[in-house]
Amino acid sequence: MTLINLKRDGTRNSPWQSLSSPAARVKPEDKIYDCLIVGAGITGMTAALLLQKAGKATIITEAHNTGFGTTGGTSAHINTFADTTYSEAESAFGEEGAQGFADAINEGFELIKTNIDTYGIKCDYEPKTGYLYAENDDEVKMLDEIYQGATKVGVPVKYTDEVPTPVPFQRALAFDGQAQFHPIKYLKGLQKAYLEAGGALLENTLVEQIVTEDEIHIVQAGKNEIRAKNVIYATHMPPNINVFNFECAPYRSYVLAVKLHSGKYPDGLIYDCQEPYHYVRTHVIDGQELLLIGGLDHKTGHEEPEKAFDDLEKYARKYYNVSSVKYRWSSQYYVPVDGLPYIGRMPLTANGIYCATGYNGNGMMLGSIAAKILVDLVSGKGSKYEKLFNPGRIKPIDGFSEFVKENADVAYHFVADRLNIKSTDSLNRLKPGTGKVVEVDGNKIAAYRDDDGTIHALSPVCTHAACIVSWNSEEKSWDCPCHGARYDIDGNVLTGPATRGLTTISNDEN
């Protein structure tokens, strides 16, 4: 197996992220910006371009580099349907809510197309048909509900007997007018247009906190002080402790890019209805046709990433004539407790602070429309989606059981992580290349032994909300099972909501 994408910092690059470019540091000016955007993924970059083009002085700060976050780890399907089905949206938010959700998804989709046309972005954009198939009676029932929900909100869908999949199925739907693209080529295209329009961008700049004085938001970003009238948290999950820690659950999702012996790659975006599900699609990367196979999502820090990859590969080899696995990577998304994203004014913060989160696996369209909504709010225009996606909403119907389920799990980790601290593991049994939370002299430490035998010892207490991190053997990272913060082997923050790294512990063995 030729794997080409493991980096030392705890991330596995997706094929999109191998498209590198020098770090952008456009120094902030000594002025009050109209808007500071934190995070350079699809949400932040789309919003930045819209604002800058509308004549608003805009600056982006990004903790790592453009596309480092989930936009760089996505599988880049552009759809007219979503993980929260339109019938689920209707049962929670009524007919009007389901229609609003469908309209927002569609507008996000259209905005991507408009940007590609307007700025001439070459990003492998290709229209495709989407297929969803059911393999048993329960899934058939689910499929029928999806059909009815989509039809009701005017999303084109039809039953089909033809699906380009080797998997036997009972019933299937075809959604015409879907698409796929290369997300980083798209993001870099937006970035180019944004910089050409005079926008500022500071990469490698983590925002830890924002202070508000006389309605101006002030951020200490390294040596620079940035002042802005408005702030948009486009960080996927807003940093530090906030209401979304209790309204969104972090999930990791896995993708393989494989080569086939037979050379017969399916044409379409193909999904099953299993729980957890699988999907496949084809993409030509660097002139090489590859089959992308993804899914097997689970809550961050709760299951073995190595097993997820193994199971995904077994699935791939069962149905396709795989010759080699070229890439494997995983990334994180957030499931909102009531099914719809949170986009708008950030609750419990000063005026002029906005955020967007809880896109589920649909952030290409929802991140794009979130950008449009937030830009309209920053510009004082209001938005027709303001009420539906209001981050401060009290959910109208049902959903409470889900809320309790997700939070019971977080509460479990707060308590269980502390009680179950009697570990028999010790540092000297830790093999090179592995990590574990071990107990040494009555203290719990997150220990990783590198290939040279050196131990990297950290406090295992997540700096976000003090849960205990778990070792992710596949990505060589420490992942928090409560709210999804992630750290590299030296404790540096990879993924929020944490903004401070894990504390380093010196140990006798080194």
Ligand X SMILES: Cc1cc2nc3c(=O)[nH]c(=O)nc-3n(C[C@H](O)[C@H](O)[C@H](O)COP(=O)(O)OP(=O)(O)OC[C@H]3O[C@@H](n4cnc5c(N)ncnc54)[C@H](O)[C@@H]3O)c2cc1C
Identity of residue 130:
G
Least distance to ligand X from the beta carbon of 31, Å? 21
Contact 130, 175 (CB under 8 A): yes
Shorter beta-carbon distance to ligand X: residue 456 or 486: 486
Identity of residue 428:
N
Shorter beta-carbon distance to ligand X: residue 61 or 245: 61
Shorter beta-carbon distance to ligand X: residue 333 or 487: 333
| CA–CA separation, 158 and 164 (whole Å) | 16
SS3 assignment, position 390? coil
Counting beta carbons within 10 angstroms of the beta carbon of residue 262, is it exposed (0 to 12), middle (13 to 18) or buried (19 or more)?
A: exposed
Contact 448, 476 (CB under 8 A): yes
Shorter beta-carbon distance to ligand X: residue 190 or 489: 190
Measured at CB, which residue is nearest to ligand X? 363
Shorter beta-carbon distance to ligand X: residue 99 or 253: 253
Shorter beta-carbon distance to ligand X: residue 260 or 371: 371
Contact 479, 460 (CB under 8 A): no
Contact 72, 17 (CB under 8 A): yes
Least distance to ligand X from the beta carbon of 362, Å? 4
Tokens of 205: 């700049």
Contact 342, 389 (CB under 8 A): yes
Least distance to ligand X from the beta carbon of 375, Å? 14
Least distance to ligand X from the beta carbon of 411, Å? 25
Least distance to ligand X from the beta carbon of 237, Å? 8
Tokens of 34: 């109209």
Task: Quickly count: other Cβ atoms within 10 Å of residue 176's Cβ.
Answer: 12
Which CA distances in Å does 461 have to 185, 436, 437, 485, 504?
37, 13, 10, 11, 11
Least distance to ligand X from the beta carbon of 341, Å? 9
Shorter beta-carbon distance to ligand X: residue 44 or 149: 44
Binding residues (CB under 6 A) for ligand X: these are 38-44, 61-64, 68-71, 73-77, 206-207, 234-236, 239, 253, 255, 294, 331-333, 359, 361-365, 367, 496, 499
Least distance to ligand X from the beta carbon of 330, Å? 6
Tokens of 225: 């002080």
* Positive or negative: CA dihedral 450, 456, 459, 463: negative
Least distance to ligand X from the beta carbon of 253, Å? 4
| CA–CA separation, 344 and 82 (whole Å) | 20
- Report cis status (omega within 30 of 0) of the bond before 432: no
In our burial notation (b when 16+ CB lie closer than 10 A, e otherwise), range 13-28 reads: bbbbbebeeeebeeeb
- What is the phi-psi region of residue 49: left when phi exceeds 0, alpha when psi lies from -120 to 50, beta otherwise? alpha
Least distance to ligand X from the beta carbon of 288, Å? 20
Least distance to ligand X from the beta carbon of 36, Å? 10
Contact 359, 333 (CB under 8 A): yes
Least distance to ligand X from the beta carbon of 178, Å? 10
Counting beta carbons within 10 angstroms of the beta carbon of residue 350, is it exposed (0 to 12), middle (13 to 18) or buried (19 or more)?
A: middle
Shorter beta-carbon distance to ligand X: residue 15 or 363: 363
Shorter beta-carbon distance to ligand X: residue 186 or 265: 186
Q: Identify the bridge partners of residue 336 per DSSP, sorted by sequence position.
A: 248
Shorter beta-carbon distance to ligand X: residue 182 or 436: 182
Residues in the chain: 510
Shorter beta-carbon distance to ligand X: residue 201 or 234: 234
Shorter beta-carbon distance to ligand X: residue 293 or 430: 293
Least distance to ligand X from the beta carbon of 96, Å? 23
| CA–CA separation, 385 and 370 (whole Å) | 9
